[in-house]
Structure 1
């Protein structure tokens, strides 16, 4: 008995994926829930397990192929291992009568393997009223990019020509390596550029004296680990300080929806994390209801999942504000880019000892530059500066967090 292996549900708004890696080949024995392949979507990597124990008899979607939700990936023959059946010669064209009979007979199992237009492409064509779009995908499959090109060609404005690559000497070309961008990297590039093109983004800067936070952390870090089983880091202080400031300047925790401003009466804090495959932003839901220990545990858990590529779609959606810590890489100053549709993102940086004038005397203090990038369409300069000042005040005197001052 043969069992079909299909593309699982990929998450909200995700309609297609790319087959990244097959862990098995036809003829291999597989166990129940053993990983057969890995799919790469715009945001996460999805592993596809075997639904039954048996033999992988056929791979329908090869590596690099784009597949939609519920598309057929492979066939698994239940039971003991058996030799993989020989594939039908793809070059043997059916006789005209047979082909006609097959067409009249109606779609059965072969339809599952016929190339279908990408779901995202179908939706775009339906919305734009397009019907005749030339596909560049496998077997003439219409991809989302094909529809976008057709829409661009249809508009009055000419499509901007891609900048040609500068000529490369033959001796240099032999030493170059060309690697196709992953879907995650393509999505990161598109979202960041869209953010710049859509939002009226500005950045305001300040600096914070980390003396008090560092002293408080040093005084209680051992007791904190002993009681809560997690290290006390700086991220919980910054998260708490941002939550405190968001309550005073709610427009930084809002988003624009058409002609409406949607104010969020909760804080789902995004914590940007760099991974070997690219930047991801896991979200700590209801961070405003958490203690320092709860925040540190959530950050540690999300960080581990991000490094292992185990974040789910749900864990990266719904954020209302984001914190990005470039200081862990040694950044002294930067301007973070908004994570749409959010209206604010805080950039943390390297802690560096600098001479400061305190009460008329020059003293050495551990200082950090802070940067708040914000959408000027919804956040005025006064609100942005006030937000950053409140974060600074809360970090320079952490007792303000306890007293809600």
Structure 2
């Protein structure tokens, strides 16, 4: 690892020898979503003691909040290899590998059975509020690497761990509503264009959300462009599809090396840059790219990607395979790449679109397919009103 405090060099993961006094401490996994449970399956497969801390009241709690939405990738990319081995040994049969599941199906057909197998190794309602090294703040160095991690829960309970795999995700820390918004990409853009051209959706471009206020007619959303020009639209409901960002606040006392743009590790950032990659072109990566100056702490899954929207469950599964291999001391396996994705199709909506034609739209509304056209929005353009009028 570079000795400079501000250098751009990637962090070299340390090959730590097992400590006899810490051998009884588990690896703590934060989050019982798809990637967190995959990490648990790999730890179980290697005989490493672990504990999964889930803030919600069920495995896949965040997934349950978008349970009516269908994933873009089919089942064959959504099932981790180690998890599959555990499940199949218990008589589980995999769903149709060619079709993308809804979030609810992902839980019912995969996450819930896996969580049941892991049993008491998963603690529900256990929200992490802070992580540090026992007896060390972020500044102290001498002896730091030998100190166990100290994990504090919202309840005040404190736990110790030999390593931490943070798969807490980003669903609870969405980007703010405002600014430039998210441009449509790939097949999503094609479908959006079709809806716009049919009149089903009215698309407002160059809309820089500046202020939201409630009126007698509904909710008024006011745009202010960089030029100062304003326009507004009055709507019944706002859905803020502005993406997510990682929340590293509970790891504030750890030494993290974060890319200043994406918020991922500095080494991972160029591999996932959405200006250069789609989810299908992100190369396989693991412990080398996920390591921080804090040995033994790894943010994995969608949280590891920072603000990049190029994440797939399959890449998260490869991450935890590599990280767990490193924790087991199997550095040869840790540095191998086991990810094999097609460059097209895996992150396209075409499969989801075909599934919708077969079974109806996953709208979350009883009756399935949404057949009533969306009403066009009324837009008032002009310069009236200041930001606070």
The TM-score by the shorter chain falls in which range? under 0.3
**Which of 1 and 2 has higher RCO (CA within 8 Å, sep 6+)?**
2
Query: Which structure's CA Rg is the greater one?
Result: 1
